[in-house]
A and B are shown apart, each in its own frame.
Chain A
């Protein structure tokens, strides 16, 4: 750890990315080379570190904190007893306008975050001072169909960070300077392909999900060589002719079947398997043109991470017509179920049900509603919903709970092995769903309808704690409006979360009691993280147009 060196290097290198006279540049480069030689070893986020992230809770190395995506920090310094002494350590003002949905990464004295629309910034962890910033200019006609121009974070592997852009490129940047090592075009943005999710870095590979579920894309998940940017494999989320699952589409409807992969998935290195949520079918609200289950939309898929081949899938919402993407972060948990140790996958889904699966084989174990839902009588023994007739969108409008934003959304859930509870920011909201026309034009909306959501006092939100095995609600915190921010649990016995009203709060993980809160002044649309500065636990979240870091007053 050489914070002084990092700070020095940063000060020297800031101008590089914003343009500098050549003499100064030469001087700077010379300095950088020498500094690189002295400190390169201090920021190598190796696969081994990523795999053993629980062993270094002072860092936050990957989007969900670990490959199991529990968004659980094993730090214990901040507890229910002392959280009342939590104070702001520093605040970083986001330098560009737009919604801030980033989850920062923390390692080796640096914090690396993204700013709208797809800028990357490195901060000195100790002070919040900027080290470097990288900007990727977007074409004026960049297509972001169905979502705001946001970015949710980077992946970090070795001394390189990886970021996807709204115009569907993947960039590899030097973690020390922001210099571009390589770039590759993932897809054509003119057809509505885009990237908002943080990539996932595993052993030598960068896994990248794609957005465009409202543009009639054919979704995929890609793996790129982390060193070169070469495409290693592509898994099509919509099977083509001759492939299993293609029979769940009619005619050519698979070609515009959507199934985006726009939220970072999870990884089990022991069995080299990726778990990734797949988005809604296209068009969203008119299923007439795509009769069938529409695999693998609104599903979770388990993929061989080396080959990209499908191991199994589980479809939460067959033939979805409510835009209930399964683009949530799957929680990977190892626990005993029915007196047997099992590899589990837990996920509160957008369709209103909480699911527990065996992730070794995709077997359905449990599924219960965790919000008010009015579209299914329940799930059958295989986990398939028993749909109530007449709940499809219609020209006249059909009132259904939950709304298309779902019972939860892209922001992260958390699991605490200490309490055995799954924590989720839940949305209690209905909507009148409309069915419209479905004409496909490349690069245009392909939705065929929409909703008018019930808002105001007809909707609300909650932080809910669910029993991992049964989904039973253990406690909840009422929120004025449906939230857009994720949660994090800690070994200290806390759950951190935020609301649209600007509150960042700490709850007792066992009881849900509010123990601390801070009014940030802007809605939270982010996920909390935890890490250490100088050996002391801190937590951070984006809120409004700023990033806040908190630590105990000492």
Chain B
């Protein structure tokens, strides 16, 4: 019991502050993208149990859009290898039931205890594969991270600036293939928390940045210089939300080995906060 609560609180603490790039909603919207990318990446575990099995059916319906049809991961971490939360079914059932605060892992109130137990049994039955070796070198990736100026917008273990998501634990939360996709096409999937908006003031001036908050009457954004702007919407002539835009530049042009190194570095970030 003590062990359980310790593990849970630890994971909550760690995940609370880790900003990610997707909401559950967007996850639903992007189900097919996630599934395709996981399948395409070849992140496929061992032969799963039959689809008639309750746990398999539930996993494929309700978990696979983030964790992959065969548990190989996607927008959520892979489950076909040693698990972050260990392999105690009771612990895992609690994780599934309550979700993980501050992450996109939702509580599973729609499943009863028997169904949750079946899902956990399915997860524990997934293949246990060693993490696939990545082509890049994490140490060189850190150099790329620094030379490309990523610290201007991301925090890792307390260092950097937080215009974009914190990356301290991103390797534990995203499959490498997804990390690569985000680097190449940052606007493809953007969390609502990093929504880019372009505002036109009554004067005609324009301000563009990341939406920090918004309600029916006001909006707060932070521009690329990290400057906070707060407006009454009555003073604006246009509020353009850009769902396919990110303030992050694409690293498509990076040479292939540097991109491999950067992915390897990000994938290595499994760490605790300072």
Chain A interfacial positions (CB closer than 8 Å to B): 285, 395-397, 399, 432, 434, 436-437, 439, 444-445, 447, 449-459, 477-480, 499, 501-503, 505, 514, 517
Contact B57 A395 (CB under 8 A): yes
> Among the interface residues A397, A436, A449, which one has the most CB atoms of the partner chain B within 10 A?
A436
Please judge, given known A-B contacts A397-B62, A454-B28, whether A480 and B106 are in contact too, CB under 8 Å: no
CA–CA, A284 to B110, complex, Å?
10
B211 and chain A: residue at smallest CB distance: A457
Q: Is the CB of A454 within 8 A of B29?
A: yes
**How far is it, in angstroms, between the C-alpha of A453 and the C-alpha of B27 when the chains are bound?**
11
Q: Which of B38-46, B120-128, B214-222, B252-260 lies at the interface with chain A? A: B214-222
Partner of B61, one of A434, A439, A453, A478: A434
B108 CB to closest chain A CB, in angstroms? 8
Q: Contact mask B1-41 → A, CB, 8 Å, 1/0? A: 00000000000000000000001111011000000000000
Cβ of B231 within 8 Å of any chain A Cβ, yes or no, is no
The segment from B81-89, B111-119, B166-174 that touches chain A is B111-119
Determine if B25 and A455 form an interchain contact, defined as CB atoms under 8 angstroms apart: yes
Q: Are B25 and A453 in contact (CB under 8 A)?
A: yes
CB atoms of A514 and B110 under 8 A apart: no
Q: With A454-B29, A457-B241 given, is the CB distance from A480 to B214 under 8 Å?
A: yes
Within 8 A of A (CB), among B99-115: 106, 109-112, 114-115
Task: Choose from B25, B62, B217 the contact partner of A454 (Cβ within 8 Å).
Answer: B25
A-B contact pairs, 17 of them (CB 8 A): A396-B60, A396-B61, A432-B28, A439-B114, A451-B110, A452-B110, A454-B25, A456-B25, A456-B26, A457-B25, A458-B26, A477-B216, A479-B215, A503-B217, A505-B216, A505-B217, A514-B216
Assuming A451-B110, A454-B28, is B115 touching A436 (CB within 8 A)?
Answer: yes
Knowing that A434-B110, A447-B112 touch, tell me 19 more A-B residue pairs with CB under 8 angstroms. A396-B61, A399-B28, A432-B28, A434-B61, A436-B58, A437-B112, A437-B115, A450-B111, A451-B110, A453-B25, A456-B23, A456-B26, A456-B192, A458-B25, A458-B29, A480-B216, A499-B215, A503-B216, A505-B216
Residue on A nearest B57 in the bound complex, by CB: A395
Asked if B23 and A455 make an inter-chain contact with CB atoms under 8 angstroms apart, the answer reads yes
* B110, B112, B215, B241 interface centre (most CB from chain A within 10 Å): B110
Query: Which residues on B sit within 8 Å (CB–CB) of A480?
Result: 214-216
Q: Does chain A have a CB within 8 A of B243?
A: yes
Q: Give Cα A145 to B111, complex, Å.
A: 14
Q: How far is the CB of B7 from chain A (nearest CB, A)?
A: 25
Question: Within the complex, which residue of A434, A439, A502 is in contact with B62, where a contact is CB–CB below 8 Å?
Answer: A434
* B107 CB, nearest partner CB in chain A, Å: 10
In the complex, residue of chain B having the shortest beta-carbon distance to the beta carbon of A453: B25
Residue contact B24 to A452, C-beta cutoff 8 Å = yes
Given known A-B contacts A452-B24, A456-B23, A436 and B215 have beta carbons under 8 A apart: no
Which residue of chain B has its CB nearest to the CB of A394? B61
Residues of B within 8 A of A455 (CB): 23-25
Could you say which of B62, B115, B216 contacts A452, with CB atoms under 8 Å apart?
B62
Closest chain B CB from A201 CB (angstroms):
35
Chain A residues with CB below 8 A from B29, complex form: 454, 458
Bound state CA distance, A163 and B36, in angstroms? 54
**A248 CA to B243 CA, complexed, in Å:** 47
List chain B residues, Cβ under 8 A from A456: 23, 25-26, 191-192
Interface membership of B67, Cβ < 8 A: no
What's the least CB distance linking A481 to chain B, in Å? 9
Is there contact, CB below 8 Å, between B112 and A501?
A: no
Task: Name A451's closest neighbour in chain B (CB-CB).
Answer: B110
B195 within 8 Å of A (CB atoms): yes
Given known A-B contacts A432-B28, A436-B115, A457-B195, A450 and B216 have beta carbons under 8 A apart: no
Please determine whether A450 and B24 come into contact, CB atoms closer than 8 angstroms: no
One of A434, A451, A459, A501 near B216 (C-beta < 8 A) = A501
Q: A396-B61, A434-B61, A434-B62 known; A445 and B28 CB under 8 Å?
A: no
B106→A452 contact, CB < 8 A: yes
Give, as a whole number of angstroms, the nearest-CB distance from B233 to chain A. 10
A383 to B215, CA, bound (A): 36
Question: How long is the Cα–Cα vector from A437 to B57 in the complex, in angstroms?
Answer: 12
Q: How far is the CA of A480 from the CA of B58 in the complex (A)?
A: 32
With A and B bound together, what is the CA distance between A454 and B24 in angstroms?
A: 7
**Chain B nearest Cβ from A504, distance in angstroms:** 11
| Whole-angstrom CA separation of A456 from B21 in the bound complex | 13
CB A435 to nearest CB in B, in angstroms, measures 9
**CB distance A436 to B110 under 8 Å?**
yes
A505 to B61, CA, bound (A): 41
Contacts of B25 in A (CB 8 A): 453-459
State in angstroms the CA–CA spacing of A174 and B254 once bound together: 76
Could you say which residues of chain B place their CB within 8 Å of the CB of A517?
Answer: 217
CB distance from B203 to the nearest CB of A (A): 22
> From residue A280, how far is it (CB to closest CB) to chain B in Å?
14
Residues of A within 8 A of B26 (CB): 456, 458
Please encode chain B, from 112 to 146, with 1 for each CB lying within 8 Å of some chain A CB and 0 for all others. 10110000000000000000000000000000000
Q: How far is the CA of A456 from the CA of B29 in the complex (A)?
A: 12
Chain B: CB-nearest residue to A500: B215
Q: Which of the listed residues B25, B29, B106 has the most CB atoms from chain A within 10 Å of its own CB?
A: B25
Query: Are B114 and A437 in contact (CB-based, < 8 A)?
Result: yes
Contact A447 B110 (CB under 8 A): yes
A215 to chain B, nearest CB (A): 12
For residue B251, give the distance in angstroms from its CB to the closest CB of chain A.
Answer: 25
Query: Is A449 in contact with B61, judged by CB distance below 8 angstroms?
Result: no
B216 to chain A: closest residue by CB: A479
